[in-house]
Structure 1
Amino acid sequence: MLESATEPEPEATEPPPTRREAENVTAPRFGGTVVTIAGAVATGPDLLRLVAVPVFALVAYRDIETRRVSSTVWIPLALLGAVLLCWDARLAWAAGGNAWTYEFLIPTAISLGLVVPIAYLFWWFGGFGGADAKALLVLAVLFPTFPEYALGSWTFPLAGPTNVGTFSFTILTNAVLVGIALPLALAVRNAAAGRIAPVMFVGWPISWDRVPETHGRLLSTPAGLSRAGLDLDALRMYLRWRGLSLAELRDAPERYRNPATLPAEPNSPTDGAVAADSQTRSDGGALESVADNETPAAESESETRPADYDDPWGADAFLADIDGSAYGTTPETLREGLEVLADEETVWISPGTPFLVPVFVGLVIALVYGDLLLGTLF
C-alpha cells in the first residue's frame, strides 16, 4: 500500500525588523539597536528629541518674564526636527510593514497636515501669538510620532501611544487642558482671598505702582470691570513716548490730560516690553502758555476736564504718530485706562496666560504620561 506523500512544512520566516531593530543597520555609529544615556534607553532620534525639553523650559520662562521670545530659538529646533524626521523615515522604511505605514507615515501625515494648519489658523485669527504658533509648528516636525523611553522597568510615556499615534497632537491637547485648568486655579485663589468678581477667573487686583512692571491687560475701566481694558504694553509705549512715568502722570493728571503738554519731539515708544531698552527725555511736555523758565502752577479740581479737550491725554496724537498699532489699542481704550490709573490705588489686571507655559507643561506630561484626554478616557 502506497503511503500518501506529505507536503513539506513551510520554512519559518522571521518577522520583519522593528523600527528600533532597523536602527542597528541605518545608524551603526550609535553602536547597537538602542542608545543608553544616564540609564534611559531609546533610539538615537528619540533621545535627541529630549533636547527640546530644556529649550521649551527656557522659552516658557521668558514668556512669563518678558512676553517676548526670539524667533532664532525655533530655527535650530526646526532643523533638528527635520533631520530626525528623515532619520526616522529611514528606520521605518527599513523595518517595513506596520512600522512604515502605521507607526510613521500616518502619524507624520496627521502631524504635518493637521497640527501645522491648526497652529497657523489660530495665529491668523489672533488666538495665538507668533511665538505660540512657531512653537507648535516646531513640535509638529520634532514630535510627529510617539517616542519611547525605557528607564529600568518603566517605559515612557506610561499610557503608551494613542490610536492616532501623533505625538504633537497629544502635546497640543495636553496644553489646551492645562490652559483650561489655569483659570480655574486662579478663581480658587481669588475666592480664597475673598476677591469675588466677574473677572476672578482671568485676573487679580494689584497696586497701581506695580502696573509699569506687569504684563497683561487692565481689567478696570471707569464703568467697572471689563475684559476689554487697556493693554499694559500699550500703556508703557504711551508713557515712554511722552517721557513720563506713571507716578508723574498721577501727580498731575489735569496737566497731562491737556494735549498741549505733548512733547514737541516724542520719544521712541519701543514695543512696550517691561525690559525694553528705552532712552527717554523725561520732560513730559510743557504747556504752551508756560514759559521755558517757569514752573506750571498746580491744577485745581475746577480746571478743564477731559471732555473739554478735542484729544484728552493726546491719545489720538500718540496712535497717529507711532509706527503700526499699539496692540489694537483705540484712543478711547487708552483714555479710559489712563483715567483709571490716574485715580485708583488698586486696579484689576489680567496677566493673560502665556501659552508657551501650557505647551511646555503639556510636553512634559506627554513625555511622562502620554495623552491626558485619551489616555484617561480610554
Structure 2
Amino acid sequence: MSLAGLSATGPDLLRLVALPVFAWTAVRDVRTRRVSSTVWIPLALLGAVLLAWDGWAAWNAGAHAWSYEFLVPAAISLGFVVPLAYCFWWFGGFGGADAKALLVLALLFPTVPQYAVGPVTVPVVSMPLGAFSFTILTNAVLVGVTIPLALALRNAAAGRLTPVMFVGWPVPWERATTAHGKLLSAPDGRSRGGLDLDALRMYLRWRGLSLAAVRDHPDRFRDPATLPDEPNPPTDGAVTADVAGDGEAPLEQATPEPPRDTDGGASDDPWGAEAFLADIEGTAYGTTADELRDGLEALTTEERIWISPGMPFLVPVFVGLVIALVYGDLLVGTLL
C-alpha cells in the first residue's frame, strides 16, 4: 500500500507503525525462533492510547458510533481475542511471542481502520461486527493452513510420498543442530513427532559434545557413566546462543567410568536422558526422556532425517495483518 495520497484518521495512521514491527518479528522468528518481549511493550502502550482516543471520538460522535462502531467491536477484541490467545498459549497451541502478538493486535486493532488511497478505500471487504483483530486472526489461520499444502506439493514433486509429507522434509543429519522445529525420524524407521531440536542443542551443550562426536561413538556416549561431573550450561537451545568453548569435549575426557551405583543403576538411563532433564532448570520444551533417547538413536544411524520446520505463527499473523489491511476478511470474502 503506497503512502502517496494516503489519508485516514490520526489513530489509524499511527496503527500502521505495527506493519514494519510485525515484519521484523516475523523474519526474526523464522531465523532464530526468539522474539524479545520488549518488542511488544511500546506497541501495547500505543494500542492503549489509540483505544482511548477512539473511544473518546466515538463518545463525542453520538450513541450509535459509541455503541455499535466502537463498543461492540472493542468488546469482542478485548473480551474474546485476548482470552483466546491466552488459552491457546496456556494449552501449548501458541508460543509466548505468538500470544503476545495477538494481545497487541487486540489493543491496536479493535475496530476496522479505514484508509483512502486515491479513489480506493481499503480494506475493501467488510468484517462482521467490525472486530478487526478477529479478522487478522482468522486470516492468519487460513494462511497457516496453506503451509502443509505447500510442504506436501514440494515433497510430492521430489517423489517423497510419506505420511509426514504434509509436515516436514528430509535434510542431512548435520542440519539437526542448526535447524528449527522437531525431529520426525525415529529409530524404528517410522516418522512421527518427537524431539524438539532446541532440546537436542540443550542436551549436547549440557554434555559438551558435538553431534558428530555422538555419531562417531554412540556406544560410548549411550553409557550414562560418561556424563560429565560438572555439566555445562545448556543455554535455551537457540542456534545463536553463546556457548562456552567449541561445544565438543575431547573424546579422551569422555572415557567411560565404571557404572555408578544409583539403586537401580545409572545404566538404566541410556544417554543420560533422565539425568539431563532432572539437572536442568525448567523443562526442555516439554521433551521427555524417551523422546530424547529415540531422537539420539535416529541421529546416530540415519544419514538423512525428517524434520518439521515448525513455521512460526508470527509469519501467518503478519501476512494476515497485511491481507486484512488491504483486502479485509478472507473468510467473509470466500463465503460471499
Q: So what's the TM-score if we normalise by structure 1? A: 0.83
RMSD between superposed Cα atoms in Å: 1.8
Partner of 1:228: 193
Measure the CA separation in 2 of the matches of 1:199 and 1:51: 39
Which residue matches 2:254?
A: 286
Is residue 4–residue 117 contact of structure 2 (8 Å, CA) maintained in 1?
no
- What aligned pairs does 1:366-377 form with structure 2 within 5 A after superposition? 366-377=324-335
Return closer, same or farther for 1:98/1:367 CA change in 2, 3 Å cut-off.
Answer: same
What's the counterpart of residue 14 of structure 2?
48
Contact map agreement 2:191 2:306 (CA 8 A) in 1: no
> C-alpha distance in 2, partners of 1:353/1:98?
42
**Contact 2:8/2:115 (CA < 8 Å) preserved in 1?**
yes
1:13 equivalent in structure 2 = none
Partner of 2:303: 345
| Larger Cα-atom Rg | 1
Contact 1:39 1:152 in 2 (8 A): yes
- Cα deviation for residue 289 of structure 1 reads 4.8
Q: Secondary structure at the match of 1:120?
A: helix
| 1:62 maps to 2:62 | no
State the distance in 1 between where 2:164 and 2:51 align: 44
User: Where do residues 277-316 of structure 1 align in structure 2 (5 Å cutoff)?
Assistant: 277-280=242-245, 282-283=248-249, 285-289=253-257, 309-316=267-274
Which moves more between the two structures, 123-132 or 225-234? 225-234
Which whole-Å deviations, capped at 9, do the CAs of 1:219-257 have from their partners, x for residues lacking one? 000123333311100100000001111111111111111
Name the structure 1 match of 2:286. Answer: 328
Aligned amino acid, residue 30 of structure 2: I
One-letter amino acid of the counterpart of residue 100, structure 1: W
Q: Which moved more, 1:187-196 or 1:309-318?
A: 309-318
List per-residue Cα deviations over 1:342-368 (Å, max 9, x = no partner): 111000000112001100000000000
Q: Residues 35-92 of structure 1: CA distance to partner in whole angstroms, max 9, x if unpaired?
A: x963200001000000000000011111101111100011000000000011111111
Q: Is the 8 A contact 2:225 2:257 kept in 1?
A: no
Count of paired positions: 326
C-alpha deviation, 1:282, in angstroms: 3.2
- Return the letter of the residue paired with 1:337: G
Deviation sequence 1:101-120 (CA, Å, 0-9, x none):
21111110111111111101
Q: Which residue of 2 aligns with 1:319?
A: 277
Give the letter for the 2:97 counterpart.
Answer: A
Give the unaligned 5+ runs of structure 2. Answer: 259-265
Contact kept, 8 Å, 1:116 with 1:140, in 2: the verdict is yes
Q: Deviations over 1:177-196 (max 9, x none)?
A: 01111111111111011111
Q: Which residue in 2 is equivalent to 1:212?
A: 177
Q: Percent identity?
A: 71
Gaps of 5+ in 1: 1-35, 291-307
SS in 1 for 2:59: helix
- 1:62 maps to amino acid: R
Residue 288 of structure 1, CA deviation: 4.7
SS in 2 for 1:334: helix
* Aligned residue number for residue 299 of structure 1: none
For 2:9 and 2:27, the matched residues in 1 are separated by 29
* Corresponding residue for residue 74 of structure 2: 108
Would you tell me which structure has more helix in proportion to its own residues? Answer: 2
Letter in 2 for 1:44: G
d(CA) in 2 for partners of 1:225, 1:204: 14
Normalising by structure 2, report the TM-score.
0.93
SS of the residue corresponding to residue 130 of structure 2 reads: coil
CA contact (8 A) 1:260 1:286 kept: no
Give 1:94's aligned residue: 60
Conserved in 1, the CA contact under 8 Å of 2:187 and 2:297?
yes
Could you tell me how far apart the structure 2 residues matched to 1:127 and 1:283 are? 37
1:167 maps to 132
Would the aligned equivalents of 1:259 and 1:309 in 2 still touch at CA under 8 Å?
Answer: yes
